[in-house]
Amino acid sequence: MGVVDESQVFEFVVKKGNGVKGLTDSGLTSVPPRYIHPPEERIDRKKTIDATPFLGPPINLAGLEGENNGAIANALCEAATKLGFFQVVNHGVSVQVMERVKHAAHTFFNLPPEKKAVYLKGTTPCPNVFYGTSFSPEAEKSLEWKDYLSMIYMNDEEAMQSWPQECRDAALDYLKGANKMIYGIMGSLLRGLDVEVEDSALSLHTEAKAVNMNFYPPCPNPELTVGVGRHSDLAALTILLQDDIGGLYVKVEEKGWIEIPPIEGALVINVGDTLEILSNGRYKSAEHRVIASSTKARVSVPIFVSPRPQIMIGPLSGLPEKHGKTVYKHLLFGEYMANYFGGVHQGKKTLDFARV
């Protein structure tokens, strides 16, 4: 299997920080057993269903800040209720910024392994910046075919000092370019719940932001593994920039899996668990996953928008009465986060932790 001995795969990939990129660079000709997933967890592209009935055209956000924004706000609320995934255009992030951040992701993951390994958990100079592979490698039976870099934004000063310089400026420009859209979408969704929403609710639930860069190297047997296993996101909202390769699949309850096709200039938005909890279950965090690709390296750059750990999350005041039931309890976001990261990807089962 190339120059990496099978018994040393975990040590080489995870502990030493070579990542899946290091595996493919070693001359790999077949997927190591550690990366083979059970058949029921793999995606057979031939068995996916047509997305058209479930995924509308991209929502045009031009005018979201204006007074006559009712139609746009309604479209956002409907999409968040129906599938929990939608695409947006005219979102305020320029094509140049999007292209630059994708290029920056490739630049970082193509660094020599020892330069990336500086940011491994346990050795990283800043706890808000870390590089790794898979989701929870110590706990997973089968590893995911993905390396990532996570940069939690606290302030400009820390980001300038601590984020890897190969991608720092591009990631900051992307985050800042998306901020207005984030508040516009989140504000529309909260107001769309038709209960009195305190002004502080918007800022409280969007205060923490992280830019992740995901890297999916070419895979010799993509049909045997997964890029990311079935999961819903922890965040309130996820803003995702995907490249033109595709491979993102979303579950339509009781129907099957659809692909979210790459559309030039569009961003993918999805509801996370936190927003499902805040909305008392009205907005849906959709289960999704990513396939591996055999042709070329794929990158995606999500922004995760969340409350800070010490913030209490739960159904907004008035919603349980409006819905006639309380679906989720109130708990600290930090508690939910600890539970979420405490296990392996398991679809939407993580939400059980917050159910009444």
Going by C-alpha positions, the residue among 28, 35, 30, 29 that lies closest to residue 10 is 35
Return the domain boundaries, the chain. Answer: 7-354
User: Please, what's the b/e burial string for 204-225 (b: 16 or more CB within 10 A of its CB; e: otherwise)?
Assistant: bbbebbbbbbbbbbbbbebebb
Joined together, the tokens standing for residue 106 give: 């490739």
Contact by Cβ (8 Å): 116, 99:
no
Give the number of other CB atoms < 10 A from CB of residue 164. Answer: 20
Alpha carbons within 13 angstroms on the beta-carbon side of residue 244 total 4
How far is 261 from 247, CA to CA, in rounded Å? 8
Q: What is the model's pTM?
A: 0.94
Which helix (H) or strand (E) segment holds residue 39: the answer is: none
pLDDT in tens, the chain (356 residues): 445 677 788 888 888 899 999 999 988 888 988 888 988 888 888 888 999 899 999 999 998 887 778 999 999 999 999 999 999 999 999 999 999 999 999 999 999 999 999 999 889 999 999 999 977 767 677 889 999 999 999 999 999 999 999 999 999 999 999 999 999 999 999 999 999 888 788 999 999 999 999 999 999 999 999 988 889 999 999 999 999 998 999 999 888 999 999 999 999 999 999 999 999 999 999 999 999 987 789 999 999 999 999 999 999 999 999 899 999 999 999 999 999 888 777 778 889 999 99
**Closest Cα partner for 226 from 134, 291, 294, 143?**
291
Q: Which two tokens stand for residue 94?
A: 């320029």
Q: Which of 259, 258, 244 is nearest to 297 (CA)?
A: 244
39 Cβ partners below 8 Å, 6+ apart?
none
Q: Give residue 194's region: left, alpha or beta (phi > 0; psi -120 to 50).
A: left
How far apart (Å, rounded) are the C-alpha atoms in residues 276 and 286?
A: 10
Whole-number Cα distances in Å, 349 to 255, 273, 275, 312, 356: 19, 11, 16, 21, 14
In this prediction, residue 253 carries a pLDDT of 84
Yes or no: domain 7-354 corresponds to CATH 2.60.120.330: yes
Report how far Cα 85 is from the mean position of its chain's Cα atoms: 12
Can you read off the two tokens belonging to residue 110? Answer: 């193509």
Per-position b or e across 234-243, b if 16+ CB within 10 A of its CB: bbbbbbbbbb
- DSSP bridge pairs for 267: 88
Find out whether 303 and 253 touch, Cβ atoms under 8 Å: no
